[in-house]
Amino acid sequence: AYRLWYSTAGTIDTVDRDTGLGARIYRWTRLEPIPGTNKVICVALSPTAGQRLISAVYDNTWGAEKVLADASIPDSTTMPRVFDVAVENSGEAMAVWVDTNNTTSLSYSTWTSAGGWSASSMSVGYNVTYSTRTQWVRLVTKPNSDEIQLVFSKSPATTGTQELHAVTWNGSSWGTGSFISGNTTGSSEQRFDVNYERGSGDCLIAFSSSTNTPPSYTTRASGTTSWSAVGQASDWGTDLQGQWYRLVREEAPSSDDIYLMVNTSSDTVGYAVAWQKWNGSSWGGITKVETKSLSARQSFDMCILKSQVDSTPPAPISNLTAVASGTTEGQVKLEWTSP
């Protein structure tokens, strides 16, 4: 029997603690914190006892497990992660997954602190014919918003390439959905990712095309529903193609910077880990940080370190005045509005 374990110490805890999610084999696990609370949502996929998608909530202790889907998840013994979870700014959580009983769309369930998970799964409603199963599901929340962007890949039966689709949740319902590309690649790796610019709120999707060309991308302006024409980012180099994609945004409030990091593969020059930066309107140059990576797995990750120093000077004080009251020792009281 296998269990999921956790640690909450400030340093790595040497004591394994049982989450209470039950004795099963687990293929994928996702954690998302609930803003402004000590709660954490855990969603895990198990191939044991009927392909179960299971969730539990941590709030200083683990709550009872909730089975979101049972015996209706595609075979999770293979690589793809066919679910994801995200949390709105309001604290409501969203889980989306591939359900074999839902042959025309993806299924989802919502969680609230007061009511827990919704009683039954619901359909995203974006009508896509699933000739073969959806491969990868990705969710990301817009900063300071209840908007969630869903992006997923699927493999049509008639071609060897992957399709990429996107659907937007506005905090209460799903939109109509968009076909992004029919020219993506790779079912064993997540060859795409999605994230929002912190400053503008615009959404960016980057993905690998079916040839050894630069990575492709598309954007959606904040408050709109249409995606831009597909463009190309900077080229990774001769014969290099992204295998695993990771988009990480800069968290400075006014920044539109998003970093794209990937494993690249090539039969001639080996494997590399490299990144490039999107500044809100264009891509920068390539930085390679490793040339002997393992492309069969996501053998890297990236985060942005928040500076502890406020390097922005305050605005000039324009209304500094002396207050009439004072002392006989020559002290002067000043009054102004903080910029």
Among 28-37, 134-143, 193-202, 303-312, which stretch is predicted with the lowest mean pLDDT? Answer: 303-312
pLDDT one-digit tens code per residue, 236-257: 877 677 888 999 999 999 999 9
What average pLDDT does the segment 21-33 reach? 84
- Is pLDDT of 1 > 50? no
Which pTM does this prediction carry?
0.84
Among 41-45, 81-85, 96-100, 291-295, which stretch is predicted with the lowest mean pLDDT? Answer: 291-295
What average pLDDT does the segment 1-9 reach? 56
- Is pLDDT of 276 > 50? yes
Confidence of residue 116 (pLDDT cuts 50, 70, 90): very high
| pLDDT confidence of residue 166 | 95
| pLDDT confidence of residue 182 | 83
- Is pLDDT of 289 > 70? yes
pLDDT one-digit tens code per residue, 152-187: 988 765 555 678 999 999 999 999 889 998 877 767
pLDDT one-digit tens code per residue, 37-93: 989 999 998 877 567 889 999 888 888 889 998 877 776 556 688 899 999 999 999
Q: Distance between CA atoms of 216 and 63, rounded to whole angstroms?
A: 42
What average pLDDT does the segment 202-206 reach? 98
| pLDDT confidence of residue 331 | 65
What's the whole-number average pLDDT of the chain?
82
What average pLDDT does the segment 291-316 reach? 71
- What is the percent of the chain with per-residue pLDDT over 70, rounded to a whole number? 76
Q: Distance between CA atoms of 182 and 117, rounded to whole angstroms?
A: 34
